Amino acid sequence: MNLFNKIQGIWQDKNIEFEKRLNVWLDTLDYGTEFLRLAKKEFHRWSPLRAYVSVTKTKSRVKGLFSLRFFGQEVANLIVQNKEVFLELEGHKLKNTRWFNVSLADGRYPWKGREAKKFRADFKALAFFKKGMPQVKSIEHRVESKFIIEMCKGSGKFGIENLRIQPVMIAGKFPLQIPVPISANTGEPKAGNGYIDILARHRRKDNKTNLSVWELKKPGSYQHAASQAYTYAVTLLQVIRYSRRGSEWFRLFGFSSKVPKSLEVEAVVAIDRNQKDSFEREKAILEKTAPFQIANDKIRLFAAYYKEKSEAIILEQDPFIV
């Protein structure tokens, strides 16, 4: 059974369960978006700290809870309540002290207060001292955070002129790892919570905008990346095409139009150049065994070869750019 058929089989077997889960996620993200819109005049991003939206955190209608991260590693929560923003450390002090030597005690602090200001200043100083390459628990998360920063820039993203790509953000500026009901961590699809590393909108030279699914690997790592990217791209199409609220997901991804009759989804594997042979071998197998034209929709599989710099990610100009 090829990879596509496995994904289809899981979706059919778990259709009712998936539908319920997708409804909960979508409602949760709607709540989170509303909280962020209400509080955006009060909340300001302070580089290098960034607030991420999480479906596992943002569950309450009374308050919004978001993940505050330093180069991808969670260092605190942000709480939005009654149009006010609070910094909350709940079990974070020990980890922050161990990894970053930042020792604010667990508790809740006004975002504009003295403690929160010092907290932000400490991480800003650390990023400067480490020249944008701090030691974190997950190198992939650090790389991912830099990819998001690059995608949010104007011209010259990734060192490439005229690359028009933007990550899907909540309320226009908060990163989100899009949840899907099929996981592909091992390269094999399984029913369970999966997360797309980065979902972006890529406007090509013909002015057509594609959804772009990015699977990121740390330097020197590969681990079935092409199969993972393909699985998440197919699952994303399933969500848009066959879930009851697919059109709402499509709008969440930043499109104002109805879901078109044909979609093109890019499955992009972000790896270092040394992993090219691994990618090419796996891509060749997938192209022989799994469909890339699915009814009216199409999946295009690419590799994006990157180099991590202190303050940037540089990409080689490969065909997916055009």
Q: What percent of the chain has pLDDT over 70?
A: 92
The per-residue pLDDT for range 221-243, each reduced to its tens digit, is 999 999 999 999 999 999 999 99
pTM of the entire predicted model:
0.93
Report pLDDT for 172: 73
Residue 215 has pLDDT above 80, yes or no: yes
- Average of pLDDT values for 173-198? 92
* Distant-in-sequence contacts of 124-130, Cβ < 8 A, 24+ apart: 124/46, 124/47, 124/48, 124/49, 126/70, 126/100, 126/101, 126/102, 127/47, 127/48, 127/70, 127/71
Residue located via tokens 């899981």: 10
Amino acid 219: pLDDT: 93
Structure tokens at 220: 């020197």
Q: Say if residue 48 is preceded by a cis peptide, omega within 30 of 0.
A: yes
pLDDT score recorded for residue 43:
61
Element counts in the chain: helices (H) and strands (E): 8, 16
Over the stretch 39-56, which tens digit does the pLDDT of each residue have? Answer: 666 666 678 898 888 777
Among 192, 182, 185, which Cα is nearest to 242's? 182
Higher pLDDT, 204 or 123: 123
| pLDDT reported for residue 79 | 87
User: pLDDT per residue over 6-19, tens digit each?
Assistant: 999 999 999 999 99
Q: What is the pLDDT of residues 281-313, one digit of tens each?
A: 999 999 999 999 999 999 999 999 999 988 889
pLDDT per position as a tens digit, 127-183: 999 998 999 999 999 999 999 999 998 888 898 888 899 999 887 778 888 999 999
Task: Check residue 66 and give its pLDDT.
Answer: 85
pLDDT at 318 (0 to 100): 63
With a cut of 80, say whether residue 124 has pLDDT above it.
Answer: yes
Q: Decide which of 187 and 97 is more confident.
A: 97
Reported confidence tier of residue 59, pLDDT bands at 50, 70, 90: low
CA separation for the pair 300, 298 (Å, rounded): 7
Do the beta carbons of residue 198 and residue 253 sit within 8 Å? no
pLDDT at 61: 55
pLDDT single digits (tens) 203-213: 988 888 999 99
Q: Span 257-285, mean pLDDT? A: 95
Task: Look at 193-197, 276-280, 308-312 and tell me which has the smallest mean pLDDT.
Answer: 308-312
**Residue 321: its pLDDT value, please?**
54
Question: What's the mean per-residue pLDDT of the chain?
Answer: 90
DSSP label at 215?
E
Angstrom distance (rounded) from CA 31 to CA 38: 11
CA distance 141 to 125: 20
- The pLDDT, as a whole number, for residue 60 is 56
**Residue 27: what pLDDT?**
85
